[in-house]
Structure 1
C-alpha cells in the first residue's frame, strides 16, 4: 500500500474521531495607546520694536541747540615766521579775534539692517569772527557736518536692550573764513564742542535703549508657553503639550520701520492621544540662554489605521477566493464560507485575526464526514518599508493548541499555504491617499493653534515616518513633521 493512501486513510480516521466544531482561546487583547514620545522644538517669539518710537524718544531728549560760544582768541590767524640762517623771525604777528557762534541739529533719522541701527544727526554751525586784529568788524562763516552713530544691538541677561555705539562724523563744509588771503579755520575748536555734544547723544541713546525691556513679553511667552493645544478633535483626539525649557535670542532684523528681535523658545513638544492632558506647571523665567543651536519645530502626528477598515476587506477577499471551491492537499476540494472577521492588537507587537468559517468537503476521502465550523485565530506581524504608507501583515501563524486537530478541516484550511497567502495579500493596504489626506489635514490643523493668550503658527516643511506598529488603537504609523513655528503672545493687561 502506498504511503499516500495510508496517510489519506489515517486522515479520514482522525477526522471521524474529532469534533466538527473547533474552539480555540483567542489571543490576548492588548489595549495600549500609541506611544508618540516627545521632541525638542524651537519656536520663534518675535518682539517688535517701533523705530519711529525710538526716533521720537531721541528727538524729544536731544536738544535742538547743541552749543553756543563767545570767546576772544589771540591767534585767530597765527603769526607767519621765516627762518633765515636758522634764526626764526615773525613776519606777521598773531591776529586776534572774537569768535561768536552756535550749532544746531536737524531732524534725527534712524535706519537699520540686521542687528545694526544707524542714527544720523545733521549739524549746522554758524560762526562769526569779530574785531579781527581790531581792523575788520566781522566776518561770518557757515559749516555743516553729518554725525553718524552706529549701534550694534544685544540683549542683557535680564532681557534689557543694550546698544554698543560707534561714532563717525565728517564736515561737508569745514568752519572757517578767508581774511587777507589767509584762512581762519575753526574746525579744531568746533570739534572740541561737538565731541562733548556727541558724548551726550551717545548717553541718551544708551538710556533710550535701556528703557526698552523685552522682559514683559518674554515673561508672558514663558508663562503662557506651558500649554496644551488640540491637534485633532477626533479619530483619534490628539493633543500637543508644550513645555518650555529655555529662552534665547537668535537674531535681529529691521523690516521697514520695525526692529524685530527674534526670541527663541526651546520647548518639549509631546503629542498625546485621548483625553486632554494638563499642561506642566510653569517654572520661573530663566536667564537668557547664550548657546542656542536648535532650529525648527518637530511634532509627532498620529496616523492610525483602524482595524475596522481591514476587517470587511479581508472578509470580501476570502469570499471571492472561496468561489468555486478550494483544493486542499490530501483532502480534496472543499467549499468554504466566511461569516465574520475580527482584528485587534495582541502581544509581541502582532495583530490577532479571528475568522469565522465553515468548511464542507466536496469530494475525496473526507467527503463522508460532515461540515466543520468554528473560529480560527491567526497572528501576524504588521510591516511597511521605510517611508512607505503601504502596510502588510507578514508571518501569519495559527494561534492555539492545534496538535489534536492537525487534520481538522478548519485547521487544514488555514494551514494551507495558498489560503494564508491570500489572507496576507488581502491585508495589504495602500494608505497613501489616506496618509496624504491626514498630512494635509495636519498642515491645516497646525497652521494656527490658539489657546488663552497664545497663537502658535506651524509651517510644515518636511514629513517623515517610520515603521508601522500594532497598538490597541489601531495600526500606528509614526509620522514626524518638521518645520518652523512662531509663537505670538498677547501681553497681559
Structure 2
C-alpha cells in the first residue's frame, strides 16, 4: 500500500532524471560584453571676447587734430546793402552797398571719447569767432561767435588676416551758427566748414589706424586658439568625468564699445567630447585659421554620462532575494518551492543586455528529495522613458544551470512569475539622485577657473536625460549638458 502511495512521486522523479542534462556554470552563463560606450561628439561655440583699450585713441587724436582748425579771411562785397529813401513814391538809393572783410578762426575744445553701438564717437567741440571790418569806417569791428559739435564716428573692421582697420566720418551741426546781425541782415560764415573739415578727417583716420594697429589681436587670438586644445575636468571622482575641446573655427560677429574699451565679439567653434575614467590626452593644436565673419551664437553642448557600475546592483538584488526567500515560490507543475540565495553576479552581456546570475538552493515541498543546487541566469535590456532617469528592465530571459537532477526545477523556478518579477523589480533603479549629484558637481567644477593668462567661465543652464545603454564597463545614462562658456584673456599684472 505504501508503495502504491509513493508511486506518483517516483514517476515524477524518474521523469525529471530522464530529462535532466548535466551542465556547468560556464555552459549557461551569457558571454561578457567587451564593448565600450561611444564618446559623444557635439559642436559648441565658446565665446572668446578680446578687449582693446580705446582710451589711447583720444590721446592720439589730441595730437592729430590741431587746436585751430581753420582761419577765416574773405571779402564780402555787400556786408551792408544799399540804403535808400522814397521820393515821389519811388525808391531812390542814397548810399552804395558797403563791402567788408570778414576775419576770424575756428578752434576746437578738448576731445571726448565715448561708445555708441558699434561706433567709437569722438566729440569735437567747435568754436568760431569772426569780425567784420569795412573800408569806409561804417562798421566798427563788429564781432560775433558761434559754436558747433563735430562728431568723428569711427568704425573698426577686423580683416580675415586679423588686422584692425578704422574708417572715420565726421558729422556736425552748428548749435549757434557764427554770424553778424547788421541793419536787419544776418551774415553767417559756415559755408567753409565742409571743405575745412576734410583734411581733419584724413588726419583723424590716419591716427586711428596707426593707434588700433598697435592692438595685437592676432597674438591674443593665437594664444586662445592654442590653449583651447585642452581637456577640462567636469567631475573629480566617482567617476572622473572629462570634457575635451578640439577647436575647429573662429567666428567674428562685430564689436561693441563699452566705455572706452572695444569688445570684439569672437567665438570659438569647437568639438566637445566627454570621457569617463582617466584623463584623455589633449588634442594636438593646429595653426590659427583665418577669421570667419559670421554672427556667433555661443552655446555649450556636451553629453556627460552618468555611469552605474554593475557591482553596485549585486547587493541590491541579493537583499531583495533574501527577503523574498522567507516565503515559498509557487512553481507551475511543481508546487511550492523554498529557495535560498547566496551569490549574485551582474555584468554586461552582448546586445545591450545585462546578465544576472543567482546561486540557488531549491527544495520542492512536495518532493522528498534533497535540495537542488545551481545558478539561474537572467538577461534583460535596460530601458527608460525620454527625459527620465528611472531605469527599468524589459525582455527578461531566464537561463538555468544546476549540479544534478533538478535542472528543470531551477528553470521552472526562474521562469515562475514570482521570481522573474522579483529580479526585474530589484534591477529597477532611479538615477535621478545620481544625475542631480553629478549636475551639482559639474556646476561647481566648471563655474569659473583660471588657466594661465586665461579666465574660463561656464554657465550650465540645462541637463537633459538621454537613453540608457548597457555596455561592458557598466550602465551609461547620457545626460546632455547645455549652457554657455567663455574664455577671456586676462594676463596677470
Shift of 1:194: 3.8
What is aligned with 1:129?
132
Contact 2:266 2:296 in 1 (8 A): no
What is aligned with 1:335?
338
Shift of 1:371: 1.0
Shift of 1:148: 1.9
Shift of 1:246: 0.7
Compare 337-346 and 71-80 and name the one that shifted more: 71-80
What is aligned with 2:460?
460
What is aligned with 2:177?
174
What is aligned with 2:416?
416
What is aligned with 1:155?
158
CA distance in 1, matches of 2:372, 2:431: 36
* 1:80-479 mapped onto 2 (5 Å cutoff): 93=96, 95-136=98-139, 138-292=141-295, 294-362=297-365, 364=366, 367-399=367-399, 408-479=408-479
Contact 1:79 1:95 in 2 (8 A): yes
What is aligned with 2:89?
none
Contact 1:246 1:289 in 2 (8 A): yes
Cα distance 1:193–1:291, how it changes in 2: closer, same or farther (>3 A)? Answer: closer
Shift of 1:345: 0.7
CA distance in 1, matches of 2:231, 2:352: 30
Give TM-score, length-normalised by structure 1.
0.87
Question: CA offsets, 1:379-409, max 9 Å, x none?
Answer: 111111111111112112124789x988532
Contact 1:231 1:442 in 2 (8 A): yes
SS at match of 1:315: helix
CA distance in 1, matches of 2:275, 2:37: 9
What is aligned with 1:28?
31
Shift of 1:153: 3.7
Shift of 1:28: 1.8
CA distance in 2, matches of 1:178, 1:7: 136
Compare 56-65 and 104-113 and name the one that shifted more: 56-65
Cα distance 1:191–1:90, how it changes in 2: closer, same or farther (>3 A)? Answer: farther
What is the CA RMSD across the aligned residues, in angstroms?
3.1
Contact 1:44 1:486 in 2 (8 A): yes
Cα distance 1:101–1:373, how it changes in 2: closer, same or farther (>3 A)? Answer: same
Contact 1:14 1:407 in 2 (8 A): no
CA distance in 2, matches of 1:8, 1:96: 144
Shift of 1:479: 0.9
Cα distance 1:413–1:44, how it changes in 2: closer, same or farther (>3 A)? Answer: same
1:77 maps to 2:84? no
SS at match of 1:223: helix
Contact 2:56 2:211 in 1 (8 A): no
CA distance in 1, matches of 2:288, 2:48: 15
Question: CA offsets, 1:126-160, max 9 Å, x none?
Answer: 22233454544522221211112333443221223
CA distance in 1, matches of 2:431, 2:150: 67
What is aligned with 2:3?
none
Shift of 1:253: 3.1
Contact 1:21 1:373 in 2 (8 A): no
Shift of 1:32: 3.4
Cα distance 1:7–1:117, how it changes in 2: closer, same or farther (>3 A)? Answer: farther
Contact 1:229 1:450 in 2 (8 A): no
What is aligned with 1:13?
14
Unaligned 5+ runs, structure 2: 1-5, 85-91
Cα distance 1:359–1:245, how it changes in 2: closer, same or farther (>3 A)? Answer: same
Cα distance 1:190–1:24, how it changes in 2: closer, same or farther (>3 A)? Answer: closer
Shift of 1:190: 4.9
Give TM-score, length-normalised by structure 2.
0.87
What is aligned with 1:85?
none
CA distance in 2, matches of 1:454, 1:211: 21
